[in-house]
Amino acid sequence: MGLDYQKMFADAKGELEQLQAAKANLEAKLAQVSARVAAMTKAYNAIAPLVGEQPIPTLRDALITTGIEVLKAAGITVATAKTEIAGYDIFSLSDQTSADVLGSGKGTGSSGTAQSLLNNWKVLYAAGVITTAPPASAAAYVNSTYAAEAISST
């Protein structure tokens, strides 16, 4: 008596479909619960100080704490970090397709990102770190369509 591979396959396929459906259902429920937890955390954090309680630390708080620990481990003082950060531009989503960041259309070649990429390429090539000569323009390596889609979907 041989093995019935057709039946084994059909059984495996059926069970896999059931498991995938169960997983999708659980993921949907998890997304709903996660949204409720996020909303309740905001409410809790808004009310906590009013009743003398500490708010729940957020991801931002954790990142700041981690950043401070990294600075200390690297021997960088807070004053030095503030000086360094003051020189950085932080761009919003709506800024991403501006000439300062990615640019758009034919303007990507002269964008801040393209110029930064090209200048770094030139330095690394001159130092022998990379062996491919830099192009005349880095426009082919800057794609602002994803940022434009993200902006239009908000």
Whether this model's pTM surpasses 0.75: no
Q: pLDDT tens-digit profile of 6-28?
A: 999 999 999 999 999 999 999 99
Distance (Å, whole) CA 56 – CA 48: 9
What percentage of the chain reaches a pLDDT higher than 90?
45
Q: pLDDT tens-digit profile of 76-107?
A: 888 888 888 887 777 888 888 888 888 888 87
Distance (Å, whole) CA 140 – CA 137: 8
Helices 78-86 and 59-74 pack at an angle, to 10 degrees, of: 110
Q: Please, are residues 70 and 128 in contact by the beta-carbon 8 Å criterion?
A: no
Q: Quick one: which of 99, 110, 115 has its CA closest to 147?
A: 99
**For the chain, what is the largest distance between any 2 Cα atoms, rounded to a whole number of angstroms?**
80
Structural tokens at position 45:
């954090």
Distance (Å, whole) CA 84 – CA 79: 9
